[in-house]
Structure 1
Amino acid sequence: MSKTIELNNGLLIPRVGYGTFRVPEGADLAAAVKTAIKEGYRLIDTAAIYENEASVGQGIREAIAEGLVTREELFITSKAWNDGISYEETLQAYDDALARMELDYLDLYLLHWPGTKNDFIPQWEALEKIYADKRVKSIGVSNFHVHHLEKLLKETTIVPAVNQIELNPLQTQKQVHAFCIEKGIQIEAWSPLMNAEILEHATLKTIASKYGKTTAQIILRWQTQTDIVTIPKSMTSSRIAENIAIFDFDLDGEDILLIEALNEDGHYGPDPEGFDFGR
């Protein structure tokens, strides 16, 4: 299996990335980003609201300076927060992200949340402008449900390359996933390990024992094997390495079905239908 997936604009995105949600700014994060790159991660994910873009950028620049990777080999993602909902504010938000990270461009820039007022069209039009000007390699959304996507597709021009959503064995979001497949939008999973809360699940531990892998590796392999991009987070070097060491085995069809049968259709993070912070 290839370690990348082709997006709807022809850009290749790694199947596994390094997430930085809830990691504070500082030298530890910069070091962790550099460790992730050493271990083979090429997708690094951050967001304005994480307030850690500067440290993420520092880790990236240090890795490049040390010859671990070139900028062109990396796939860097950030997200516009809900407080910049106007067209001009969103254009400025992108410039601010680049300035904080000290980078010339991003590979993917996302709208972080749709908001309850469905007033995201000006934000998306700003992303379309940035993309048309070739200042970003691809654009997408995060936490969009089907009706949000339907509105976006009806009222704007560019189909999102990615929809980054909360997705794990207990929340598979099948309706959103199916719609995105139909429209050529790549699903990307945030919090795939549910902040480690799911790692002791009995069914997953049984499957992990069968393959001689950790529970985290089983979850991440399930996602990558079913063409879901995934961005696990860890600040522990051994787990950073473990989370990307998932390309040397295949889950059989029966085990994939067992994992997907765990779905409870809940939200363990904020539900996009009611999440409106910053607006």
Structure 2
Amino acid sequence: MALKPDSCVVLNDGHKIPVIGFGTYAPDTYTKEQAGESTKVAIDVGFRHIDCAFMYGNEVEVGQAIRSKIADGTVKREDIFYTGKLWSNNHTPERVQPALEKSLNDLQLDYMDLFLIHTPVELKPGDDPFPKDEDGKLIFNNTDIRDTWKALEACKDAGLVRSIGVSNFNRSQLELILNMPGLKYKPVCDQVECHIFLNQSKLLKFCKSQDIVLVGYSVLGSSRVENWIDQNSPQVLEDPVLNTVAKKLKRSPAQVAMRYLLQRGIVVLAKSFNPERIKQNFQVFDFELSDEDVLTLDGVNKNMRYLSIDVWKEHPKYPFHDEY
């Protein structure tokens, strides 16, 4: 199938997800208002898939941006695919729907297109998104993730969300849901870190076998301003192999890095707060990588993760101990 700006993947529940999305997470160096303004730019240049989360703290501004583009006639609500996420302090079943409703209220939208469990790691339920004990350690909780999933299924049945999925789940955690008694809806996707240094080939193969879409974040690498990123880690966009392919195709390294994932059937989330780069990141549909180019970029894989989130490692559901 030739990829076009309006290309979508059909999810296992029949809904469609655009193959390229705009990520709205902003480090502290950017304001929430900048996230909103960048979302407007993204919609103007052609993005129809907007990825956000309660934890990003900017759903009010992103919702305003979406509604302003609806109000000025650029898009209709049904043109936009909005993804939100359930944070780790809301996994207990009775907290799931209120958390979704809080996000919808902040967004001023009637429904979400996709709602994900942000991470399998669960924190103590309550208003504090990062509850800590007197020693400053995170307070973990351990609800059966299948009970959380049942609560998500109820949100789908109630019409609050059209599709439900997960994020940062490994294969065994996906299988726990897929094999649960009384499963009504399979996860439509698993949103995970994915780029040329972590190409997720094994998880991708498993997801395809289960009709689950792999959605990639940090596809261009990760910003060094994050205090949990190793400052010495190699940068995706500086990789010499990637740059050689990009030079040959007269494209930017970012465009080639994204196109590589798209051609492997991965839905790609691109994040930028620079209007020119937002525009460039959407210009990935008028060229193609050869099979040889794809194989060359396959060889760059290091199984290197930018976001290992070490403070979670003691949790029984920490997802990154497993190979995939």
State the TM bucket, normalised to the shorter chain: over 0.9
2:10 to 6, 9, 12: 6
Residue number in structure 2 paired with 1:43:
49
Structure 2 residue matching 1:170: 3-state secondary structure: coil
- Paired residue for 2:263? 225
Letter in 2 for 1:245: Q
Please show how residues 130-209 of structure 1 align to structure 2 within 5 Å.
130-155=155-180, 156-195=183-222, 197-209=235-247
Aligned position for 2:74: 68
Are the equivalent residues in 2 in contact too, given 1:115–1:274 (CA < 8 A)?
A: no
Matched, 1:81 2:106: no
Higher helix proportion: 1
Q: Report the CA distance between 1:135 and its aligned residue.
A: 2.1
Report if the CA contact (8 A) 1:25-1:55 is conserved.
no
**More deviation, 81-90/118-127:** 118-127
Alignment-derived partner of residue 135 in structure 2? none
Residues 111 and 159, structure 2, Cα contact 8 Å, conserved in 1: no
Q: 1:274 maps to what in 2?
A: 313
SS of 1:29's partner is helix
SS in structure 1 at match of 2:162 = coil
Match of 2:228 in 1: none
Asked if the contact 2:222–2:306 (Cα under 8 Å) also holds between the matched residues in 1, the reply is: no
Q: Max radius of gyration: which structure?
A: 2
Given the superposition, is the C-alpha separation of residues 251 and 158 from structure 1 closer, same or farther in structure 2, using an over 3 Å criterion? same
CA distance in 2, matches of 1:118, 1:174: 30
Mapped contact 1:166–1:189 kept (Cα < 8 A): yes
2:21 is aligned to 17
Q: Give 1:25 shift.
A: 5.2
Q: CA deviation at 1:134?
A: 2.4
Shift of 1:271: 5.7
Paired letter, 1:181: K
- Looking at structure 2, the residues matched to 262 and 199 of structure 1 have their Cα atoms a distance apart, in angstroms, of 12
Look up the equivalent residue of 2:83 and give its one-letter code.
T
**CA separation in 1, counterparts of 2:298 and 2:143?**
30
Structure 2, gaps ≥5 residues long? 123-141, 224-234, 319-324
Corresponding residue number in structure 2 for 1:126: 151
Aligned partner of 1:5: which letter?
V
Residue type matched to 2:242 in 1?
A: L
Q: 2:132 aligns to what?
A: none
Q: How far apart in 2 are the matches of 1:28 and 1:146?
A: 36
- Among all aligned residue pairs of Structure 1 and Structure 2, give the percentage whose two residues are the same amino acid: 35
Displacement after TM superposition at 1:275 (Å): 7.5
Distance 2:146 2:26 in 1: 28
Does the 8 Å contact 1:8/1:161 carry over to 2? yes
**Unpaired runs of at least 5, structure 1:** none
Mapped pair 1:212 → 2:250: yes
Distance 1:168 1:275, change over 3 A: farther
Contact 2:112–2:161 (CA under 8 A) maintained in structure 1: yes
Residue 90 of structure 2 aligns to which amino acid in structure 1?
A: G
Deviates more, 1:24-33 or 1:107-116: 24-33
Between the aligned partners of 1:92 and 1:71, the Cα distance in structure 2 is 23
RMSD: 1.9
2:22·2:50 contact (CA, 8 Å) conserved in 1? yes
State the distance in 2 between where 1:219 and 1:118 align.
37
Partner SS, residue 138 of structure 1 = strand
Q: Distance in 2 between matches of 1:174 and 1:148?
A: 17
Number of residue pairs aligned between Structure 1 and Structure 2: 278
Contact 1:118–1:148 under 8 Å retained in 2? no
Moved over 4 A (4+): none
1:257 aligns with 2:261: no
Structure 2 SS opposite 1:94:
helix
1:102 aligns with 2:108: yes
Aligned-partner SS, 2:166: strand
